[in-house]
Amino acid sequence: MPELPSVEHSRCLLERTVLSHRIANILAVEDNIVFSEKPSELENKLKSRQIIGARRYGKYLWLVLSEGVSLLMHFGMTGFVQVQGVERLYYRTSSDKEILQDVTQHTTAWPPRFWKLQLETSDGCKVVFGDSRRLGHVKILEQDPMSVPPISKLGFDPIICMPDFSEEIFKRVTGRSVPLKTLLLDQSFAAGVGNWMADDVLLHARLHPETRTNELSPEEVGQLLDSIKYISVTAVGFDADGSKYPPNWVFHCRWPSNRRMNANPTIDGHKVAFITVGGRTTVYVPDLQKKSPSLGRRQKEKRHKNKE
């Protein structure tokens, strides 16, 4: 699934190419899974409107249009935005390797395979939303997307509103007992963080993915927040181009194509391992992410040490 950096890449692409232009023509495929509206409704509601902004929150992306209308998009597992004549980055996933190569590599064929919606602006720029698995969604809103579900129910966005450590955020993290990996994938906690990001967040924080949230110390929660910010800002800074990510990220080890080339991947000389946490494939480095004693045990040991 495209995660925060990939969706931000698409937002920037739209901002560079279609901002301030009017929508002159619309083509849409009849698809009641991807769309909330019929093609004729999309045309009636979108045509002639000016594109005045491209916004993102978490994994949601939307175009802000004139007269208070927004076009909201969620990419699901394989959704994408592509502009004609612009080579685009693609999200890596093994099961869709052939499909994604077909629809996302630079090509003169237009519209690309699996396209669902095409907008053509007044200056002739063409942009499509596409989705091979049809798990994405496109919806027209006549309210501020930030003020209504699903976006209003999301947690903080690490790029837009990353919180500093506080007693409140400490209680939010430790007030329930779930594996850390599960917490990071909960969009009501950190909007935009997905599977690969969560693994690199935990590696950078030196926290085991199965550690229970209610066992974390204030220092560890601080490390977690710092790591969420670092991974997010760094990935966005590289415009979601995974080839440019630091070599000591487990991002480079998780894809089957990488594992075929290197069956025993390492990070800084330490072996990488694969486990399942909450039903999700999880990549971590056992030597660097050790399961620490429970918080209660650590507090007991500290009291005993102080008595000595």
What are the distances in angstroms from CA 155 to CA 10, 147, 184, 200, 218? 21, 13, 11, 19, 20
% of the chain at pLDDT higher than 70:
87
- Flag whether pLDDT at 225 surpasses 80: yes
Rounded distance between C-alpha atoms, residue 266 and residue 253, angstroms: 8
**Under a CB-based contact definition with an 8 Å cutoff, are residues 6 and 245 in contact?**
no
pLDDT-derived band of residue 307, with 50, 70 and 90 as boundaries? Answer: low
Highest-scoring range by mean pLDDT, 107-121, 246-260, 290-304: 107-121
- Flag whether pLDDT at 237 surpasses 90: yes
- Flag whether pLDDT at 141 surpasses 50: yes
Give the pLDDT of residue 99.
Answer: 41
Rounded distance between C-alpha atoms, residue 271 and residue 186, angstroms: 28
Give the pLDDT of residue 260.
Answer: 61
- Flag whether pLDDT at 110 surpasses 70: yes
**Under a CB-based contact definition with an 8 Å cutoff, are residues 164 and 225 in contact?**
yes
Summarize the confidence of residues 224-240 as an average pLDDT: 98
Give the pLDDT of residue 163.
Answer: 98
Give the pLDDT of residue 214.
Answer: 97
Rounded distance between C-alpha atoms, residue 66 and residue 57, angstroms: 20
Summarize the confidence of residues 102-120 as an average pLDDT: 78
Q: Which domains does the chain have, with CATH numbers?
A: 4-153 (3.20.190.10), 167-292 (1.10.8.50)
59 carries an active-site annotation? yes
Q: Which of 5, 8, 59, 209 is catalytic?
A: 59
pLDDT-derived band of residue 174, with 50, 70 and 90 as boundaries? Answer: very high
What are the distances in angstroms from CA 58 to CA 69, 72, 302? 20, 12, 39
pLDDT-derived band of residue 101, with 50, 70 and 90 as boundaries? Answer: very low
What are the distances in angstroms from CA 269 to CA 69, 224, 261, 289? 52, 23, 17, 14
Q: Which of 2, 111, 158, 179 is catalytic?
A: 2
2 carries an active-site annotation? yes
pLDDT-derived band of residue 19, with 50, 70 and 90 as boundaries? Answer: very high
Give the pLDDT of residue 100.
Answer: 45
Least confident of 95-104, 149-158, 255-264: 95-104
pLDDT per position as a tens digit, 198-218: 999 999 999 999 999 999 999
Summarize the confidence of residues 4-21 as an average pLDDT: 97
- Flag whether pLDDT at 292 surpasses 90: no
Mean pLDDT of all residues in the chain?
Answer: 90
pLDDT per position as a tens digit, 76-98: 999 999 999 987 665 554 444 44
Give the pLDDT of residue 109.
Answer: 86
Of 18, 30, 26, 19, which is closest to residue 45 (Cα–Cα)?
26
Instruction: State CA 93 to chain mean position distance.
Output: 14
Rounded distance between C-alpha atoms, residue 88 and residue 104, angstroms: 6
Least confident of 11-15, 52-56, 103-107, 250-254: 103-107
pLDDT per position as a tens digit, 240-279: 999 999 999 999 998 876 666 677 899 999 999 999 999 9
Token pair of 298, please? 């650590």
